[in-house]
Amino acid sequence: YSTDSIYDMLQMVASYNTDQCEAIFNDGTKTFFEKGSFSCGPVVDNEQGSYLTMMSSGGLKFGIINIVGNFGTVFVDQSYWQSAIAARPASTHKGYLLGGLVWFTIPFALATSLGLAGVALQLPLSVSEAGAGLVPPAVATHLFGSGGAVMMAVMLFMAITSTG
């Protein structure tokens, strides 16, 4: 899938009404679509119901909470201070700036690309499944098959073993 096709699919998903969503989330005999449980149709409280907007009250709240919380983590966590004291003073500021950029970029890029791909492809993930972090493995498995599941497992293993 190209970025253009994902964009077109997101625009199409945002334009669906309840009847169209029920038809998509249908197991052959009945629908399992419940409004608010699946990403189908326009997004409430987003500019024009779009999935691709920065004008979202929920996104603004999340951003503020995330920034305040993560600044607190950096200033209070002892491991950050130990790393700063152990490093050479000339390289400390470069390391912290680079680490901060990477810390933000990788999760943001993965969450945005895989989350929007999950909506565009209309994968049958409920709100509780998305909240449990199952969107990235579902999208990777949908796009790459079992190789996608292996890639997500390797990435998760590397992230866990690199902390500490």
The whole-number mean pLDDT for each consecutive block of 10 residues of the chain, a chain of 164 residues, reads 86 85 78 74 82 82 82 73 77 76 79 89 86 92 94 90 70
pLDDT score of 147: 96
pLDDT score of 60: 85
Beta-carbon contacts of 53 under 8 Å, excluding residues fewer than 6 positions away, are 46, 47
Q: Nearest 5°: phi and psi at 71?
A: -65, -40
Q: Nearest 5°: phi and psi at 125?
A: -105, 130
Count CB-CB contacts under 10 A for residue 108. Answer: 10
Its pTM stands at 0.70
- d(Cα 41, Cα 12) in Å, to the nearest integer? 9
Token digits for 161?
Answer: 């073993």
Token digits for 21?
Answer: 């969503």
